[in-house]
């Protein structure tokens, strides 16, 4: 049975976690962290996403964000593809850097279910 489509509406809060493929490192140097943050800022502006917090770890990323008018998947696709292309070129790698499909927790519905909003 196919999974139900994700709910989408502008202004939803999400905690997004993206992990390195096979637990591999996704950042090998300070330049890699900077490259990811540069792309995060570029795609944040392009898709009108609000970033409330982020945490870049060696093999995964946490983002706390609020969606804009475009679906979260479009924002994440652009960000992750752009960074993966950079990383693979810089480190002479090929293939996936991140696991496909991110863990996304819709915090808006969580707050409603908990009676907090």
pLDDT score for 101: 65
pLDDT 10s digit of each residue in the chain, 117 long? 666 666 778 898 999 999 998 889 999 999 999 999 999 999 999 999 999 999 999 999 999 999 999 999 999 999 999 999 999 999 999 999 988 766 667 766 555 544 555
pLDDT score for 42: 98
pTM of the predicted structure, to 2 decimals: 0.84
Residues 6 or more apart whose Cβ sits within 8 Å of residue 67: 8, 9, 10, 11, 12, 14, 49, 75
Domain 23-110 fold? Alpha-Beta Plaits (3.30.70)
- Going along the chain, which residue ranges are E strands? 13-19, 50-56, 60-66, 103-106
3-state secondary structure of 21: helix
Domain residue spans of the chain: 23-110
């Amino acid at each position: 049975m196919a999974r139900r489509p994700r709910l989408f509406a502008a202004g939803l809060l999400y905690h997004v976690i993206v992990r390195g493929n096979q637990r591999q490192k996704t950042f090998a140097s300070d330049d890699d962290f900077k490259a990811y943050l540069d792309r995060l800022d570029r795609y944040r502006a392009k898709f009108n996403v609000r970033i409330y917090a982020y945490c870049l770890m060696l093999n995964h990323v946490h983002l706390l964000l609020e969606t804009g008018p475009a679906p979260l998947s479009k924002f994440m696709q652009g960000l992750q593809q752009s960074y993966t292309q950079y990383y693979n070129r810089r480190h002479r790698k090929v293939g996936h850097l991140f696991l496909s499909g991110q863990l996304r927790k819709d915090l808006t519905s969580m707050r409603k279910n908990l009676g907090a909003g």
